[in-house]
């Protein structure tokens, strides 16, 4: 039995975004679920727009997300190279196969001529399709143009009498009449190959059995299947994934918060949370917090439900991230938080033990890692407690005043134990509730009436700093 083979084929013309990540994830989960092969292929033929040389950032992001590929750049594989820019000879060989079967023809029409034809068809309310002008050229006409070095492209000759059927995991059997499709270009005038051709030939050569990609590629799939059939290649199974939309119902774009993977990473979203959230949206699961392996186990690719769009909700992602941070081991969380703290504060002299005490006290309040700079801000900068904050914590103004007097009278205490215990005894003598006592102390030290125990705060900040904050 042949092994399932899937691929993630990004273009390094921009940064990885949530749509890319979800496509990669579903391919990866499919391979994991079916014990198949997950392949990374880089579509880097658009050299003028490439912003990620050798797709280093793409590979870094996949590794960070926990998606390891079995074939691809650096590690190689039986169908190398895995950069399209290095596969020109392979495309040329396959083009010559199509030339030999008269499945393609040269088109000498200029872009200006094509645009005029297109506008005329639209004006007549006809679908804009190439009118096959160049199929009417005689061999002598063609040779004359070649001798004059007139630029041309190779076009696929689409058989308008046929229909194409293929399986889609989300929609079942899809049928398309080729009479509704135009002869599409396989090459550019400079001799390079188009996405339609290169992408298709790579899938053929790399023996891809399942193609999981965005719904916006559905018409591309029809044209590429026409190429496959012309080359006698079996048709893969497809899944055209629903497009991601924001909460207002508009297609997700770079203007939307949480669109860029790098931005999410820099804000402190965990890779496990991103994978988890993108894996559960658009489907229904008994449990919502799932690891990569649990997602693969929960997916049923034989019974997929589809929709035209899936809502991407950054608030739900924040909720999932909060859950993952809460279950992260403290030692790991300390290491995750360090870079965020180091960006804002000098932590060079802080021990992991001290950081562990501080971070553990606020772990359940961390939604994204970036929050740690605010939650632990009190350690680095003494809080300024407003009357409103104090009134919210301790309603009785007289109690506030008594507590401040008690602590001010003890500012010359030598030890923390004497300072705190004496203050506690005097507060009890004044019939001050211990709830108000500890709220006052914490508020003065941290800016919040809740949080770390007083002993832990003294251990982290030191007695002199504690005394200075309470007695101010």
Each residue's pLDDT tens digit, 146-179: 999 999 999 999 999 999 999 999 999 999 999 9
Does 44 have pLDDT greater than 60? Answer: yes
Each residue's pLDDT tens digit, 398-450: 999 999 999 999 999 999 999 999 999 999 999 999 999 999 999 999 999 88
What pLDDT is recorded for position 339? 97
What pLDDT is recorded for position 389? 94
How much is the pTM? Answer: 0.92
On average, the pLDDT of the chain sits at: 94
- Mean pLDDT to the nearest integer, 43-47: 85
The position carrying tokens 């590690």 is: 75
- Beta-bridged to residue 37, according to DSSP, are 5
Ligand-binding site membership of 254 (annotated) = yes
Specify the DSSP class assigned to residue 6: E
3.30.1300, 1.20.1740, 1.10.3470, 1.10.10: CATH of 387-470: 1.10.10
The residue ranges of DSSP E strands in 295-438, in sequence order, are 309-311
Q: What are phi and psi of 214, to 5 degrees?
A: -60, 155
Which pLDDT band, with edges at 50, 70 and 90, does 255 fall under?
confident
Residue 21 tokens, joined = 């990540």
The residue ranges of DSSP E strands in 134-289, in sequence order, are 153-156, 163-168, 172-177, 210-214, 237-241, 243-245
Number of H helices and number of E strands within the chain?
21, 10
What pLDDT is recorded for position 453? 87
Q: CA of 270: how far to CAs of 283, 291, 317, in Å?
A: 21, 12, 10
Of residues 389, 390, 420, 393, the one with CA closest to residue 407: 420
Does 262 have pLDDT greater than 90? Answer: yes
The position carrying tokens 């921009």 is: 14
What pLDDT is recorded for position 258? 83
Cβ atoms of residues 444 and 385 within 8 Å: yes
Percentage of the chain beyond pLDDT 70 is 100
- Beta-bridged to residue 40, according to DSSP, are 8
Does 1 have pLDDT greater than 60? Answer: no
Does 254 have pLDDT greater than 90? Answer: no
Residue 377, Cβ neighbours under 10 Å: how many? Answer: 16
Q: Cα angle vertex 436, ends 432, 440, to 5°?
A: 115
- Mean pLDDT to the nearest integer, 127-140: 94
- Mean pLDDT to the nearest integer, 206-213: 98
Each residue's pLDDT tens digit, 10-30: 999 888 999 999 999 999 999
Cβ atoms of residues 220 and 194 within 8 Å: no
CATH class of 87-241: alpha beta
Percentage of the chain beyond pLDDT 90 is 87
What pLDDT is recorded for position 89? 97
What pLDDT is recorded for position 324? 98
Of residues 171, 236, 232, 233, the one with CA closest to residue 7: 236
What pLDDT is recorded for position 2? 72
């Amino acid at each position: 039995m042949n092994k399932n083979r899937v691929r993630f084929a990004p273009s390094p013309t921009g940064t990885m975004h949530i749509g890319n990540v979800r496509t990669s994830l579903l391919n990866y989960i499919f391979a994991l679920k079916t014990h198949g092969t997950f392949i990374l292929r880089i579509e880097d033929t658009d050299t003028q727009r490439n912003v990620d040389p050798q797709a280093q950032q793409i590979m870094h992001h996949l590794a960070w997300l926990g998606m390891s590929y079995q074939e691809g750049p650096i590690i190689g594989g039986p169908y190398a190279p895995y950069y399209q820019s290095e596969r020109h000879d392979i495309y040329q060989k396959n083009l010559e196969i199509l030339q030999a079967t008269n499945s393609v023809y040269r088109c000498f029409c200029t872009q200006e001529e094509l645009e005029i034809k297109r506008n005329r068809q639209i004006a007549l309310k006809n679908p804009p399709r190439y009118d096959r002008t160049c199929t009417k050229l005689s061999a002598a006409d063609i040779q004359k143009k070649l001798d004059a070095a007139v630029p041309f492209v190779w076009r696929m000759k689409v058989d308008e009498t046929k229909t194409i059927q293929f399986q889609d995991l989300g929609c079942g059997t899809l049928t398309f009449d080729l009479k509704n499709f135009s002869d599409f270009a396989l090459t550019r005038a400079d001799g390079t190959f188009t996405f339609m051709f290169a992408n298709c030939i790579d899938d053929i050569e790399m023996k891809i059995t399942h193609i999981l990609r965005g719904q916006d590629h559905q018409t591309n799939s029809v044209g590429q299947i026409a190429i496959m059939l012309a080359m006698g290649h079996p048709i893969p199974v497809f899944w055209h994934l629903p497009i991601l939309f924001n909460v207002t119902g508009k297609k997700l774009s770079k203007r939307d918060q949480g669109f860029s993977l790098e931005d999410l990473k820099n804000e402190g979203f965990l890779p496990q949370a991103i994978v988890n959230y993108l894996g559960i949206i658009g489907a229904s699961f008994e449990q919502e917090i799932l690891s990569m392996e649990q997602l693969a186990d929960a997916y049923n690719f034989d019974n997929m439900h589809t929709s035209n769009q899936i809502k991407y909700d950054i608030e739900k992602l924040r909720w999932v991230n909060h859950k993952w941070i809460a279950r992260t081991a403290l030692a790991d969380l300390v290491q995750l938080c360090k870079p965020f703290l180091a960006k804002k504060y000098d932590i060079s002299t802080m021990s992991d033990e001290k950081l562990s005490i501080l971070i553990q006290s606020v772990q359940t309040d961390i939604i994204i890692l970036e929050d740690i700079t605010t939650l632990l801000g009190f350690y680095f900068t003494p809080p300024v407690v407003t009357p409103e904050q104090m009134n919210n914590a301790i309603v009785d103004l007289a109690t506030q005043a008594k507590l401040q007097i008690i602590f001010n009278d003890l500012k010359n205490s030598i030890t923390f134990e004497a300072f705190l215990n004496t203050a506690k005894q005097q507060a009890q003598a004044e019939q001050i509730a211990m709830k108000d006592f500890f709220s006052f102390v914490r508020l003065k030290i941290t800016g919040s009436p809740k949080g770390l125990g007083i002993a832990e705060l003294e251990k982290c900040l030191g007695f002199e700093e504690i005394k200075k904050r309470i007695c101010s």
